[in-house]
Structure 1
Amino acid sequence: MHRLREPPSALAQPVKAFIHYLASEKRHSPRTCDSYQRDLCRLAGWLGESGVAGWADVQTQTLRRYVATLAREGLNGRSIARHLSAIRRFFDYQLREKAVTDNPAVGLKAPKSGRRLPGVADVDQLARLLDAAPEDPLEIRDLAMFELMYSSGLRLAELVGLDLPALDLRGAEVRVLGKGGRERLLPVGSRARQALEQWLSVRPSLADDGQPAVFVSRRGDRLSRRSVQARLTRWGLCQCADQKLHPHLLRHSFASHLLESSGDLRAVQELLGHADIATTQVYTHLDFQHLARVYDQSHPRAKRGARRADT
């Protein structure tokens, strides 16, 4: 993508006002505001280079050309949909301010892109990685985190947001707050429980007084998402993993391995905290891929692509 020039003031100033509105009136997080600003500034720069003087001059056909530009630059359907969501909301704000007379983004849809299947680790490989013995308090913490993510299918945000009262090791369960503020109670496997007990026994040597977070850094404060990602990558390198490890890999592996064994899609949906079962159904495709490989390797007449010679 070539670097866009700074948009003219007539395009840039309304974006700044909108971001201020999101931050001050709607109380959106800095991260959300940054995302809106980045997407809208990209559009404003493109409009400026295209000769559009102001937001009132933007038509639906203009935005269709912009969507086509994003697609040519390699953005997938999900990323373009995020752009369109920001644009629609910005024009709604502009309508409220009476700066435009309609919302040209209404009804525009992003192009569909092939759904990327999540990566899954092999059961035996995960067993080798999680059976490695920790050598210091930080590694004891790391093993407890990784065991819990694989045992209970936690999202990264759910893991780092976990507080001590949410853990019930006697009852072998953990209470997490997921997307949309939805709370769910999850079982904790025996190996994860053992790893957590070991971590909680050494946690006081690291944690600040009064710190509620289950997982803390060497400085004693709540562990960040980036730190968890870095530590999992390090763990994989130290244990010579066959693939790069990342938090979502553990969650995806939890879901796929559970579905392979149980076949209960609805139960997996509940454990993952998916509001829509369609989100969970991606794991049925993974499961079929596994079954298809076994079929191809094992069935005496499994050469499905071969043609009979006597036909």
Structure 2
Amino acid sequence: MRPETPSEQERESTCQAHVERYLSHIAVERRLSPNTVSSYRHDLASLLEGLGIQEITAQDATPEHIRQVVIRIRKQGLSAASLARHLSSWRGFYTFAVHRLGYPNNPCAGFKGPKVRRKLPQTLTPDACTQLLDSRASPAQIEDDSLLARDRAMFELLYSAGVRLSELTGLNLHDVDLKDGQARVTGKGSKSRIVPIGSCTVRAIKAWLPWRDIIRNGSDEKALFLNRRGGRLTQRSVQLRLDTWA
């Protein structure tokens, strides 16, 4: 390995500063949650480390350099889902860097990651489970990972916590206490009750929340479950999503 020159050290320091600017952007301007920002930080650290091994900076990286980083972290046992998340974080950083920092291009643009095996919701009624096992829905129908995460969390609440459809769509973010494993739902006559939510449901909601932050895009929407435009889901929308799975 050739000795490192001061100019290389300076460029690496600049790349790290660029990452910090991006993390500040998603935390302050896009108002993503601290947990989401932490995930981005971890993913981007893997990127810089992999590029550093190749003696290349983020600003000078090409698609081939990105491919080598992917190969490296995949050999470390990273799952397909985690790798897809890494690539999403890297694309976001480079999109920001091209528009705000003068990077020449986005080496992750058009980069195809591994196919993520899509799992069905884990807790369903026997009838619903039978319907989904007989599913003919295509990946295009199930759509992207954000909807998958949202749907799983919704179905967990519907079937394992026993909430009504109207109660589900009426839930706000502050109604759910993930630490204590419970949710406050409002039913007929505006009567509220506390329902327990199990560990699977808690995990499903936690997996949805980072996507919720992205879809919300800085708005003050309070609903737990959002549509693509960042608004509250309607009962009809939930029924249509269940039909998509079935």
- TM superposition score category, shorter chain reference: 0.5 to 0.7
CA RMSD of aligned residues (A): 4.4
Distance 1:250 1:74, change over 3 A: closer
Pair 1:168–1:96, CA change in 2 (3 A): same
The superposition leaves residues 46-93 of structure 1 with CA deviations (integer Å, 9 ceiling, x where unpaired) of 2222322x2222101111122223333333333222212211111121
- The CA distance in 2 between the partners of 1:102 and 1:150, in whole Å, is 49
What code does the residue aligned with 1:162 have? D
Residue 149 (structure 1) shift: 2.4
> How much does 1:104 deviate?
0.8
State how 1:220-231 maps to structure 2 within 5 Å.
Answer: none
Matching of residue 111 in structure 1 with residue 65 in structure 2: no
In the alignment, the residues of structure 2 paired with residue 166 and residue 247 of structure 1 have an alpha-carbon distance, to the nearest angstrom, of 15
Q: Is the 8 A contact 1:36 1:86 kept in 2?
A: yes
Q: Is the 8 A contact 1:120 1:250 kept in 2?
A: no
Q: 1:32 aligns with which of 28, 36, 53?
A: 36
Quick one: distance in 2 between partners of 1:272 and 1:45?
Answer: 45
Residue matched to 2:162: 150
Paired with 1:77 and 1:269, the residues of 2 have a C-alpha distance of 33
Query: Do the aligned partners of 1:121 and 1:249 also contact (CA within 8 Å) in 2?
Result: no
Cα distance in structure 1, aligned partners of 2:164 and 2:82: 29
Letter in 1 for 2:24: H
Question: Residue 66 of structure 2 corresponds to which residue in structure 1?
Answer: 63
Question: What is the match of residue 95 of structure 1?
Answer: 98
Structure ranking higher on relative contact order (CA contacts 8 Å, 6+ apart): 2
Q: Residue 15 of structure 1 aligns with which residue?
A: 19
Structure 1 letter corresponding to 2:60:
D
CA spacing shift, 1:117–1:45, aligned 2, 3 Å: same
Q: 2:175 aligns with which of 155, 162, 182?
A: 162
3-state SS of 1:34 partner: helix
Cα distance change of structure 1 residues 61 and 30 upon mapping to structure 2, 3 Å threshold: same
**Once the two structures are superposed, what CA deviation does each residue of 1:169-195 show, in whole Å capped at 9, x if it has no partner?**
24xxx9xxxxxxxxxxxxxxxxxxxxx
Offset from partner CA, 1:137-192 (integer Å, 9 cap, x none): xxxxxxxx89882343787xx5764399972324xxx9xxxxxxxxxxxxxxxxxx
Max radius of gyration: which structure? 1
Q: Counterparts of 2:204 and 2:159 in 1: how far apart (Å)? A: 9
Q: 1:273 to 1:15 in 2, by over 3 A?
A: farther
Amino acid in the other structure paired with 1:106: A
Specify the code of the residue in structure 1 equivalent to 2:15.
L
Question: Structure 2 unaligned runs (5+)?
Answer: 1-10, 127-156, 177-182, 206-234
- When normalised by structure 1's length, the TM-score is 0.43
Which consecutive aligned stretches of 4+ in structure 1 deviate over 3 angstroms post-superposition? Answer: 120-123, 145-148, 151-155, 158-166, 248-251, 268-274
Relative to structure 1, the CA distance from residue 273 to residue 29 in structure 2 (aligned partners, 3 Å threshold; closer, same or farther) is farther
1:86 equivalent in structure 2: 89
User: Distance between the aligned counterparts of 1:98 and 1:249, measured in 2?
Assistant: 36
Compute the displacement of 1:249 (Å).
Answer: 9.6
SS at match of 1:108: coil
Quote the Cα distance in structure 2 between the aligned partners of 1:79 and 1:249.
16
Given that 2:91 and 2:106 are in contact with CA atoms closer than 8 Å, whether structure 1 keeps it comes out as yes
Could you tell me how far apart the structure 1 residues matched to 2:201 and 2:184 are?
23
Distance 1:122 1:30 in 2: 35
Which amino acid in 2 is paired with 1:22?
A: I
Percent identity between matched residues is 23
Check 1:249–1:89 CA distance in 2 against 1; reply closer, same or farther (3 A cut). Answer: closer
Aligned partner letter, 2:48? A
Q: Secondary structure at the match of 2:161?
A: helix
Q: Indicate yes or no: 2:238 matched with 1:271.
A: yes
Instruction: Report the count of equivalent residues.
Output: 171
Q: The residue matched to 2:90 in structure 1 has which SS?
A: helix
